[in-house]
Structures are given as C-alpha cells and as structure tokens.
Amino acid sequence: MLYAIISEDVADSLDKRLSARPDHLNRLQTLQDEGRLVLAGPHPAVDAENPGAAAFTGSLVVAEFASLADAQAWADADPYLIAGVYANVLVKPFKKVFPT
C-alpha cells in the first residue's frame, strides 16, 4: 500500500538540511531503485522553485510499504529527522487516484 510521509521543518532548518541531504537522498534513491517511490520533495517556504535563503518548511514522500508500521519505521530512521531538520512527521495511508 502507498503511504504519505508529511514532514514539517523546525525554524531555520537549512544548514541542518544541507548537512543531512546526501544521506536523505540515498534512502530515497533506494526506494526509487526498488520501484516503491511515487514522489518526493520539499515544500519551499516561498512561491519559488528555488527559495534561496527562505529555505523549506517541510517535505512530502509518497511511497509503497508493506504496512503502516513499516512506513513509520522508515520515516523514523530518516536522516533529516535524526539531524533535527523535522519538528513533526506524520505517516498516513495514501490512495492514489490520478494519474491513472
């Protein structure tokens, strides 16, 4: 089943994000290589593709896991969470309707 992992950053998270980014991206690449990643990316703090110093307010990952517990365990081991980038992480089941 698909799960949405919705994360919110702490204030002034950019330096922490940049430091943990390679490890964070490696885990996402593994999901993609396994054919389990639907989409992933950050939420810019301003209405721009590259928010610059405004940075980001959080992230969204939609991926396939065997169970909610597995999705939660994956989210709990995220390098961004461990590095203190995320203030909150919500994991919920997700039903993809579009695109078909």
Can you give the pLDDT of all 100 residues of the chain as single tens digits? 999 999 999 999 999 999 999 999 999 999 999 999 999 999 999 999 999 989 999 999 999 999 999 999 999 999 999 999 999 999 999 999 999 9
Res 2: pLDDT: 98
Res 51: pLDDT: 94
Nearest to 40 by CA among 94, 97, 100: 94
- To the question of pTM greater than 0.85 for the whole model, the response is yes
Domain residue ranges of the chain, discontinuous segments joined by +: 2-94
For residues 36 and 52, the answer to whether their CB atoms sit within 8 Å is no
CATH 3.40.50.1100 fits 2-94, yes or no: no
Rounded Cα gap, residues 27 and 1, in angstroms: 19
Distinct helix (H) and strand (E) counts, the chain: 3, 4
Q: What is the DSSP letter of 45?
A: S
Res 98: pLDDT: 96
> Is the Cα dihedral 20, 21, 27, 30 positive or negative?
negative
